[in-house]
Structure 1
């Protein structure tokens, strides 16, 4: 198995203060993962040099993700709002690079939340323009951008693999890759197989999450078919476990993601089970 297996830091902690990052890195290593994903919603508290050194010492890879806010939304028609979002994206790209990461992904194209109207043509044009410039900057740093496809209650820009491919085509930079997330796919796609095949070699990052964001295998998602589809296209990129519970609260982000209940209380037990589940699915799909 050559896919790096990752875990989202919100399995462990709700912020990126030095103590929290140290704890997340230690637990990620102890539970057998290869990569830690850090959400940059709290980047003001992140000690980047210390986090980079700790990740290197632990032998862990890192990826970073984020969404935007409604007052810093690159899909807005308001030039000032777009400019604030563009700066957030630039700053986050730099942080990811300084941490040693090559994957900067997430809802980079809009605020993370429910919109009350469709995306406008002008707003979509702003997304294309901003992400084209960000992708060019990312290329100079040897990095890729991921377009994470989110459900209709979290964005009005891209909700399906087809939407994401069309947006990536319009951006026109080959380091803009598609990020599939099984939680969102369950809401928006017909199944978990056809989108994987449609994206094909342009798949750059994967989030594995249950339909209710709890323990893998405790919901109704057809992970066997999904992992077989990944094997069919020869995907060898990161596969990161993502789960949220009110046991770990991230200020602001937990509200944006509607994390209202405890789906689990023991992050370590959850993570160990997820690592075994993902490893087993990879083994079964790649040794047919």
Structure 2
């Protein structure tokens, strides 16, 4: 279960939520890393261990952490930020750090990515992937839709980026929400990405309960079986508690009901 459903303040106050997530039947959680102090995560790791919940991590990059900035100091700061996120991931016991980390969220130039921006992204990700590999962590790069990102905004572009990065610690994290906007066929996109995919987020078209909207879930689950994927499936849903997601209305009864219905839906289809 992705903890962004409860916003971006991830701390000890979420311990009762972790207990509920375990009780409902989830095996693990996605923890968003915005606090980059490793010490912040010591108690959180202990709670996860006590509950027997596995953990993988995500982050997003602000305009100050933009790997394709024309400013070398910003690119340097971006690499340092992502390395600090990896340090926190190590504390949490994660084996993956994921997200659209090759560039900053909602930062646009007004034009398609240039060759120079593409190369800056590759250079930065390779350096971060080297550090990740030293910690036995894999990067899961994500593309976002055209309204949120421009370096990669579809599966083909992300495949090209990951293939050109050509690093064993650099894979793809596939998100059905963005695919539902950008792909002609979500299942075909999953099949094309194939074994580059190391993690899958199941997210409805309106970011509410998976299975309650118009994502082609039959095609998604068929493709997952076709590529013989046996990794994590994570439920990703948002609420007004996460302003950056531009969710201005609540589209489910409660977080608990969303989790119960979402998990039942996935188990019935996979």
- Which of 155, 170, 173 is the aligned partner of 2:149? 155
The equivalent of 1:84 in structure 2 is 77
Alignment of structure 1 residues 12-23 onto 2, 5 Å: 12-20=6-14, 22-23=15-16
Computed over aligned residues only, the root mean square deviation of the Cα atoms, in angstroms, reads 1.6
Deviation of 1:265 after TM superposition, in Å, equals: 4.4
Partner SS state of residue 200, structure 2: strand
Per-residue CA deviation, residues 51-98 of structure 1 (Å, 9 max, x unaligned), is: 111111111111111110112211111111111211110000111111
- Which of 194, 197, 204 is the aligned partner of 1:200? 194
The equivalent of 1:98 in structure 2 is 91
Partner SS state of residue 41, structure 1: coil
Identify if the C-alpha distance between structure 1 residues 210 and 112 changes in structure 2 by more than 3 Å, giving closer, same or farther. same
The equivalent of 1:185 in structure 2 is 179
The equivalent of 2:164 in structure 1 is 170
Alignment gaps of 5+ in structure 1: 1-6, 283-288
Tell me the distance in 2 between the aligned counterparts of 1:116 and 1:135.
26
Alignment of structure 1 residues 1-288 onto 2, 5 Å: 7-20=1-14, 22-43=15-36, 47-117=40-110, 118-246=112-240, 249-250=241-242, 254-255=243-244, 257-282=245-270
Q: Are 2:11 and 2:44, in contact at CA under 8 Å, matched by a contact in 1? A: no
Deviation of 1:44 after TM superposition, in Å, equals: 5.3
Identify if the C-alpha distance between structure 1 residues 46 and 271 changes in structure 2 by more than 3 Å, giving closer, same or farther. farther
Q: Are 2:36 and 2:84, in contact at CA under 8 Å, matched by a contact in 1? A: no
Per-residue CA deviation, residues 229-249 of structure 1 (Å, 9 max, x unaligned), is: 101111011111001111xx1
Q: Which moved more, 1:108-117 or 1:132-141?
A: 108-117
Q: Which moved more, 1:45-54 or 1:56-65?
A: 45-54
Partner SS state of residue 104, structure 2: coil
Tell me the distance in 2 between the aligned counterparts of 1:52 and 1:88.
21
Tell me the distance in 2 between the aligned counterparts of 1:242 and 1:69.
21
Identify if the C-alpha distance between structure 1 residues 56 and 138 changes in structure 2 by more than 3 Å, giving closer, same or farther. same
Alignment gaps of 5+ in structure 2: none
The equivalent of 1:285 in structure 2 is none
| TM-score for the superposition, normalised by structure 2 | 0.95
Deviation of 1:264 after TM superposition, in Å, equals: 2.2
User: How many residue pairs were aligned?
Assistant: 269
Tell me the distance in 2 between the aligned counterparts of 1:75 and 1:198.
26
Tell me the distance in 2 between the aligned counterparts of 1:157 and 1:37.
24
Per-residue CA deviation, residues 130-171 of structure 1 (Å, 9 max, x unaligned), is: 111111111121111001121111111111111111111111
Per-residue CA deviation, residues 82-119 of structure 1 (Å, 9 max, x unaligned), is: 11211110000111111100011001111111524232
Q: Are 1:151 and 1:159, in contact at CA under 8 Å, matched by a contact in 2? A: yes
Partner SS state of residue 179, structure 1: strand
